[in-house]
Amino acid sequence: MSNGRRLGWRRARLTLTALLLATIASACATRSGDEVTPAAGQPEPQRGAAAGPAGALSAYVERVRRAHAARAVVARKWGLRQAPLLAPPPPAPADKPKITFRKGFEVGDATLPPVFTTVPTKERIVFLTIDDGAEKDPELLRMMTELDIPYSAFLSDYVVKDDYGYFKKMRDGGTALHNHTLNHRYMPALSYAEQKQEICGQQDIIEKRYGKRPALFRPPYGNYNADTLRAARACGVKAVPLWAAEAFPDHMEWREWDRDLHPGDIILTHFRGKQEWNGSMADMIRHVMNVVTTKGYAVARLEDYV
């Protein structure tokens, strides 16, 4: 979100607060049936229609009600128990949280791209990420667009290259495409040069095909060593998000001991179909969104915070 749009949002909230206070004050000062005398030089209030701050507030409330009703209809269409919660406005670029290594995930060099599983925030938001690109389900694109759920894709070329166009549609819909290596190999078993080829090669392909060099990289299986992070830095990677939970069509798997979500958690899932899962991509989204929403969280855009 641009600074202009952010300032506009904040001004709108301040204006609505002022309108609400004005309406409350008016209600407190006027009993039902009382006539209101306008101040000198002010026009008479319209008869039979809301006017002034109360009218503006009523119109805003009606717009919100209609928008929520529309979201509820779409949620029912896709089989969700309730409409996804809306994420708050993202921070300004200068206010993004500082991303550091998760404790125990360091490799002895704090200058390397940090490895983390949770974004430091107090907002009740989580982030949805989808790995590899093997399943190219058009229903997923329609579902995520209609529900307006943000997500990030981490792509491996060996399963993407048979249909680059599918992920172009994804990018055109606003989804950021990131690096998951060329061939999804176990990185710690490779030399530095081999790891660099896996990462830089995928950077080159994503830039060529989709116009932007990724800033984020996820190593296959979540496994890495110091050479992995040095190679990632050499290829232009800024950060290495792993995950705090993993979503499937019929269950969740948890990294944390309490088996729960926390503000800023990153959720992992994969591009998979019925041949490998007990369900489709849409089934997986239904399940994870029901869990996320029931727990009182909204899905936010990872790139707005990292």
Start-to-end CA distance of the chain, whole Å, equals 14
Cα-based distances in Å from 130 to 16, 24, 38, 268, 269: 37, 47, 59, 6, 5
Report DSSP state, residue 249: S
Summarised one tens digit per residue, pLDDT across range 225-253 is: 999 999 999 999 999 999 999 999 999 99
Higher pLDDT among residues 166 and 70, named by residue: 166
pLDDT band for 19, please (50, 70, 90 cuts): very low
Q: Are 196 and 182 in contact (CB under 8 A)?
A: no
Q: Is the pLDDT of residue 267 over 90?
A: yes
pLDDT band per the 50, 70, 90 thresholds, residue 63: confident
Question: What's the pLDDT band for 47 if we cut at 50, 70, 90?
Answer: very low
Is the CB of residue 240 less than 8 Å from the CB of residue 114? yes
- 300: closest CA among 252, 265, 250, 274? 265
Q: What angle do CA 198, 217, 165 make, to 5 degrees?
A: 80
Q: How far is CA 218 from CA 132, 177, 186, 231, in A?
A: 10, 11, 12, 13
- Per residue in 91-142, pLDDT (tens digit) is 999 999 999 999 999 999 999 999 999 999 999 999 999 999 999 999 999 9
* H-assigned helices in 99-225: 138-147, 157-160, 164-172, 192-210
Pair of tokens at residue 50: 């809301």
Whether residue 62 is predicted with pLDDT greater than 90 in this model: the reply is no
How many whole angstroms separate alpha carbon 10 and alpha carbon 227? 44
Say if CB 271 and CB 156 are below 8 A apart. no
Average pLDDT, the chain: 87
Please indicate whether residue 59 or residue 182 has the higher confidence score (pLDDT). Answer: 182
Which H/E stretch holds residue 21? helix 3-29
Backbone torsions φ then ψ of 239, nearest 5 degrees: -155, 160
